[in-house]
Amino acid sequence: MASTQEVIELYNKYVIANYKRLPLVAVKGDGAFLWDADGKRYIDLFAGWAVTGVGHCHPRLVEAIARQAATLIYMPNTWHIEPQARLAEWIATTGFGGKTFFCNSGAEANEAAIKLARIHASAKGKGRYKFITFENGFHGRTFAAITATAQPKYQEGFRPLVPGFMYAPLNDMAEVERLVDEETCAILVEPIQGEGGINVATVEWLRGLREMCDQRGMLLVFDEVQTGVGRCGTWWGYQVPGVVPDIMTMAKQLGGGTAIGAMCAKPEVAASLVPGTHASTFGGNPLAAAAGCAVFQIIKDENLLENAQQMGAYLRQRLLELKQETPLITEVRGTGLMIGAELAQNGSDLVSQCLAKGLYINCTHDTVLRIMPPLNITREVIDEALAILTDVLRSLKPAAK
């Protein structure tokens, strides 16, 4: 096996440097634990942006992937593929009974939703094409997705963007009302903003958006790429506020670590995506779809929604206790195992000190400690992780103002 240095040298020579990478090489994962090339163990409280939701290398997921790999790895979408149909059934029966289009990532899922919203409006002859999206949202890195992402840092250098996107502050109904016009076809929102700092959309506001979409014949689209597949302690993030969208997008946790994304739409909306309008070579391929089915089965069989609720409540309570102790934590928010702790200062030192002590944790939006462990995390592992976090918080000096 190559050493850390050898792998990093290969990167420096051959891989485009578009990511800020840790000087570490990951070689093995097991449940909530990770190991680097030097044999050091880390507790993974981030699950790779909520991708490894059933933990690293869950034995049943490994078995499902191995079985499918030995049977049929790839077939094009000109054929029917049983794992894809089964995965669509899981999405429909755990959600709002929609029909699904499969792709390979969250950005592509949002592209599909944006295209569907436009073609649906155009099929109805309404001439509508505009979208309302929200400040501090994040929807991916393709052109329509960065346009939908109302954060200038993701758009700089890439203009001109896709026409027709308008931005409002989250939870601000008056501003949405001001922006909506006869040409608006859809509102796109994350039920909880992930990259933007674990900002929770309020129930009243989401209800207001639903009502407005119904009254004006617009579509309500939820980006569930981070909130979906159990992350919030329910199958889907929309089930926490109980506001049902017309379209939802998903990825990350869906394939347990294999590359898959999907867009699920109410059948009457999905009907607008007729042959020739949209496609993906790898979308819903047998391998990723079999992995997706295993993820749903594991969450169901192992009661992981309940575990996410219980462990989420425990984690939030422990973080609130830490908030009492240190002025470095100013707020704790989130649902299920999608948790944010607002810090009084930039969190990058805290993250690197935790990493040095064997805890892999994330900070987003500069000051929000983001905690998204696997859904099967145990109290013991949380305790071990929080002991490290507490130590680091106690040793951190408040940043000079």
Pairwise CA distance, residues 79 & 268, whole Å: 24
Report, in Å, the least distance between residue 339 CB and ligand PLP. 15
320 sits in which H/E element: helix 304-325
Per DSSP, the three-state class of 130 is strand
Residue 61: which of 299, 309, 401 has the closest Cα?
A: 299
Report, in Å, the least distance between residue 110 CB and ligand PLP. 6
> At how many degrees (to 10) do helices 82-94 and 286-301 cross?
40
Of the two residues 223 and 246, which places its CB atom closer to ligand PLP in the complex? 223
Residue 323: which of 306, 303, 340 has the closest Cα?
A: 340
Residue 4: which of 30, 29, 22 has the closest Cα?
A: 22
Sequential DSSP letters for 272-301: T--TTS---SSTT-HHHHHHHHHHHHHHHH
Of the two residues 328 and 334, which places its CB atom closer to ligand PLP in the complex? 334
Pairwise CA distance, residues 167 & 149, whole Å: 9
Q: Which of 251, 341, 350, 368 binds ligand PLP (CB under 6 A)?
A: 251
Of the two residues 151 and 390, which places its CB atom closer to ligand PLP in the complex? 151
First to last CA, the chain: 46
Contact pattern for ligand PLP over residues 177 through 216, marking x by CB under 6 A: -------------x---xx---------------------
Pairwise CA distance, residues 292 & 109, whole Å: 15
Report, in Å, the least distance between residue 354 CB and ligand PLP. 21
By CB under 6 A, what part of segment 72-111 binds ligand PLP?
105-107, 110
Report, in Å, the least distance between residue 126 CB and ligand PLP. 26
Closest residue to ligand PLP using C-beta atoms: 106
If one asks whether residue 340 binds ligand PLP (CB under 6 A), the answer comes out as no
Report, in Å, the least distance between residue 223 CB and ligand PLP. 5
Q: Six-digit token pair at 116?
A: 């569907």
**By the 8 A CB rule, do 134 and 193 touch?**
yes
Size of the site for ligand PLP (CB under 6 A): 15
If one asks whether residue 42 binds ligand PLP (CB under 6 A), the answer comes out as no
Per DSSP, the three-state class of 238 is helix
Sole window of 120-128, 136-144, 178-186, 302-310 interacting with ligand PLP (rule: CB under 6 A): 136-144
Q: Which of 150, 212, 225, 328 binds ligand PLP (CB under 6 A)?
A: 225
Of the two residues 138 and 167, which places its CB atom closer to ligand PLP in the complex? 138
Per DSSP, the three-state class of 167 is strand
Longest pairwise C-alpha distance within the chain: 62
Q: Six-digit token pair at 79?
A: 């054929």
Q: Which of 96, 131, 138, 360 binds ligand PLP (CB under 6 A)?
A: 138
Report, in Å, the least distance between residue 329 CB and ligand PLP. 23
If one asks whether residue 139 binds ligand PLP (CB under 6 A), the answer comes out as yes
Of the two residues 247 and 251, which places its CB atom closer to ligand PLP in the complex? 251
Residues forming the site for ligand PLP (CB under 6 A):
49, 105-107, 110, 138-140, 190, 194-195, 223, 225-226, 251
